[in-house]
């Protein structure tokens, strides 16, 4: 469901066209589902407008936006978006608008690719840009696209920055990095370890971290003193958190390995979608709880998209069996990222 309140400081006090164009911009750059755009509001504005300026503003803020020109959504997405704009324009009985047809012509001349970009605008005005696959499942993994629970967890993190500020965070099943990159950009963690078990996911994740201007430490840094010093200097210059990407399989990870990572906070999004994963994830969480330093166990937060209530309840039952307590964390209040608002998503905090 589209929220009609302004969601961004710069939106408040704007004329309806400006605010609508802003909503189109946020949604388009992030690849929001086309059916979830505020088409009816656009139709209303076009009906009452003397010229095509509202559409031209939307074009400038979407298809011609510098971020889209540099990091475009998929060809199919841009084609469908422009076709919809053309339909809305022509339904008003207006003359065809050259700029719309030229933009569509350019897209029709572009080749479809297996990868595309999504740009998620943060409240600071900065963006998280991700390269992801067009197909939901590719290379045998679900990890090469961003999932709704990952967006939801990022939204929650941005409202709860104190949980992450100056802490060492470990993310399990990071996928291509949306949640962690947003946290690194907006929540000031001291250190952030992204992790996953799939080789292609780890490669795309590392590329995305660099694409966002974050300094990624080589996991084993410095074969020589000079390299080590250069690495430290680069990290100091970056002024960001100490970021690493770790290959970490919940089935294989040892307690010693988890001890090395010294996490204060552990997070994961959309990592429980079949019963086998439930067992291995809970095994990893048990190890994490057993390796608390100074008697303090890490805080663990898991975001779920509840597609099948049996899987969700099964996860809770397994937690109960091994004596891990859990509580539901309050929802984020503001809608920052475009995920399906009808989806049933929740965050559990796990406690020893
Ligand atoms: C549905 S994706 C979610 C990705 C990301 N967290 C998000 O919300 O967009 C699940 C992720 O868990 C990872 N995963 C699955 N089984 C795993 C395991 N045994 N060990 C580590 N990661 C695993 C996958 O590689 C994939 O990246």
What average pLDDT does range 196-217 have in this prediction?
Answer: 96
Residue 12 pLDDT more than 50?
no
Task: Tell me which residue range forms the domain holding 292.
Answer: 146-351
| Position with higher pLDDT, 151 vs 4 | 151
**Nearest protein Cα to ligand 1, atom 8:** 150
What average pLDDT does range 271-290 have in this prediction?
Answer: 92
Residue 2 pLDDT? 36
Residue 16 pLDDT more than 70?
no
Q: Check whether residue 40 and residue 170 sit in a common domain.
A: no
Q: Distance from the CA of 285 to the center of ligand 1, in angstroms?
A: 15
C-alpha span between 305 and 313 (Å, rounded): 12
Q: Check whether residue 94 and residue 194 sit in a common domain.
A: no
Q: Among 196, 307, 345, say which to mutate for ligand 1: greatest number of ligand atoms within 8 Å of CB.
A: 196
Does the beta carbon of 118 lie inside 6 Å of ligand 1? no
pLDDT tens for 76-96 read 999 999 999 999 999 988 888
Determine the Cα angle at 334 with ends 329 and 336, to 5°: 110
- Here the contacts of 126-130 (C-beta below 8 Å, separation 24 or greater) are 126/185, 126/186, 127/29, 127/67, 128/178, 128/181, 128/182, 128/185, 128/212, 129/67, 129/71, 129/208, 129/211, 129/212, 130/176, 130/177, 130/178, 130/181, 130/208, 130/211
Residue 160's CATH number: 3.40.50.150
Residue 316 pLDDT more than 80?
yes
Does the beta carbon of 173 lie inside 6 Å of ligand 1? yes
Q: Check whether residue 89 and residue 183 sit in a common domain.
A: no
Q: Is the residue at 1 inside a domain?
A: no
192 beta partners: 169, 243
How far is C-alpha 280 from the chain's CA centre?
24
Q: Check whether residue 187 and residue 264 sit in a common domain.
A: yes
8 A C-beta contact, residue 166 and residue 189: yes
What average pLDDT does range 168-197 have in this prediction?
Answer: 98
Count of domains forming the chain: 2
Q: Is the residue at 229 inside a domain?
A: yes
Q: Distance from the CA of 174 to the center of ligand 1, in angstroms?
A: 6
Does the beta carbon of 204 lie inside 6 Å of ligand 1? no
């Amino acid at each position: 469901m589209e929220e009609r309140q302004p969601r961004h400081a710069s939106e408040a006090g704007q004329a309806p066209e400006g605010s609508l164009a802003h909503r189109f911009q946020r949604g388009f750059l992030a690849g929001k589902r086309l059916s979830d755009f505020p088409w009816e509001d656009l139709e209303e504005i076009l009906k009452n407008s003397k010229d095509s300026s509202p559409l031209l503003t939307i074009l400038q803020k979407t298809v011609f936006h510098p971020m889209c020109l540099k990091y475009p959504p998929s060809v199919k997405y841009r084609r469908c978006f422009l076709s919809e704009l053309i339909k809305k324009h022509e339904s008003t009985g207006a003359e065809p608008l050259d700029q719309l047809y030229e933009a569509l012509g350019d897209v029709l001349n572009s080749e479809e690719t297996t990868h595309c970009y999504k740009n998620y605008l943060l409240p600071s005005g900065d963006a998280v840009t991700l390269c992801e696959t067009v197909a939901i499942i590719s290379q045998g993994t679900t990890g090469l696209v961003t999932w709704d629970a990952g967006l939801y967890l990022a939204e929650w993190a941005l409202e709860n920055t104190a949980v992450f500020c100056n802490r060492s965070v470990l993310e399990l099943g990071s996928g291509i990095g949306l949640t962690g990159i947003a946290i690194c950009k907006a929540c000031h963690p001291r250190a952030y370890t992204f992790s996953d078990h799939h080789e292609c996911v780890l490669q795309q994740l590392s590329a995305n971290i660099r694409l966002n201007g974050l300094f990624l430490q080589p996991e084993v840094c410095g074969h020589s003193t000079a390299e080590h010093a250069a690495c430290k200097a680069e990290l100091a210059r970056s002024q960001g958190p100490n970021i690493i990407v770790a290959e970490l399989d919940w089935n294989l990870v040892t307690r010693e390995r988890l001890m090395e990572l010294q996490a204060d906070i552990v997070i994961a999004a959309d990592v429980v979608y079949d019963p086998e994963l439930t067992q291995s994830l809970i095994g990893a969480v048990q190890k994490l709880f057993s390796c608390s330093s100074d008697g303090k166990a890490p805080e663990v937060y898991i975001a779920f998209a509840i597609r099948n209530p049996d899987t969700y309840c099964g996860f809770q039952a397994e937690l109960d069996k091994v004596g891990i307590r859990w509580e539901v964390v309050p929802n984020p209040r503001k809608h920052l990222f475009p995920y399906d608002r009808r989806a049933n998503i929740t965050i559990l905090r796990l406690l020893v």
